[in-house]
Amino acid sequence: MNIAAFFDIDGTLYREGLITEVFKKLVKYEIIKPERWYNEVRPEYIKWDKRQGNYDDYLLKIAYIYIEAIKGLHKSQVEFIAKKVIEQKGDRVYTFTRDRIKWHKEKGHMLITISGSPYELVKEMASKYKFDHFRGATYLMDEKEIYTGEVIPMWDSKSKKNAIEELVKKYNIDLSKSYAYGDTSGDFSMFKMVENPICVNPTKELIGKVLSDEEVKKTLKIIVERKDSVYKLDPQCIELM
């Protein structure tokens, strides 16, 4: 059986959210009007930046506007933007996660990314870091490859659980020896399924979930990367404030 390492991208590999970079490109190319950034997204960003709001709320606001923005666009337009984003920003990743990808490759483990970012972005990121397989949020298209405004999400815990179950069957993966890396509550189901869960710069919500689950807590590793240092925290000694 195969051993796999399942990686989230946004906040786990990439140092922020890839969809925010696409959003900026859509504004630059005038597909999204700049005032939508100032009136709808920026207030959520400011709340998060001041640590008065939730990062997930900020990302979800961007995601909803993204769905509206690409409706009516052709597949090739979004693929072009996705390529540009990864070409320009794809190296902006955490040192710890990049090194772990290298380590898993050396061990001969399968590398799989399951991300809530748009499929087109995840595809480019998976290619750059040579993942064996990837899953992302699927924005549906009609027969002419025009986006319809409908989406099949991959950012929630249930969707990621279903994806792993499918991949286990497809690639004969042994979850009792496999790994998962994530940073938000949407990654919790991945942690429940593998023997080696690793939180990377986790949100308070995720920390609360993993610390309250005795089975996950037994094998959990918590990694925090700040500036040029990486810290490993003992789950038994963490107290949420």
**pLDDT digits 0-9 by tens, 73-115:** 999 999 999 999 999 999 999 999 999 999 999 999 999 999 9
Tell which residue, 36, 127, 111, 34, has the closest CA to residue 79: 127
Partnered with residue 199 across adjacent β-strands are: 182, 222
- Report, as an integer, the average pLDDT of 52-65: 77
- Report, as an integer, the average pLDDT of 191-210: 93
Q: In terms of pLDDT, which residue wins out, 48 or 79? A: 79
Question: What span, in angstroms and rounded, lies between the C-alpha atoms of 134 and 94?
Answer: 19
Instruction: Report which residue type is found at 97.
Output: T
pLDDT of residue 172: 97
In tens, the pLDDT along 98-157 reads: 999 999 999 999 999 999 999 999 999 999 999 999 999 999 999 999 999 899 989 889
- Report, as an integer, the average pLDDT of 38-61: 76
Q: Which residues contact 120 (CB under 8 A, 6 or more apart)?
A: 78, 79, 82, 136
pTM of the model: 0.91
- pLDDT at 193 > cutoff 70: yes
Domains of the chain: 4-237 (3.40.50.1000)
pLDDT of residue 37: 67
In tens, the pLDDT along 21-34 reads: 888 888 888 887 77
With cut-offs at 50, 70 and 90, classify the pLDDT of residue 39. Answer: confident
The average confidence (pLDDT) of the chain is 90
Q: How far is CA 104 from CA 84, 100, 233, in A?
A: 27, 6, 21
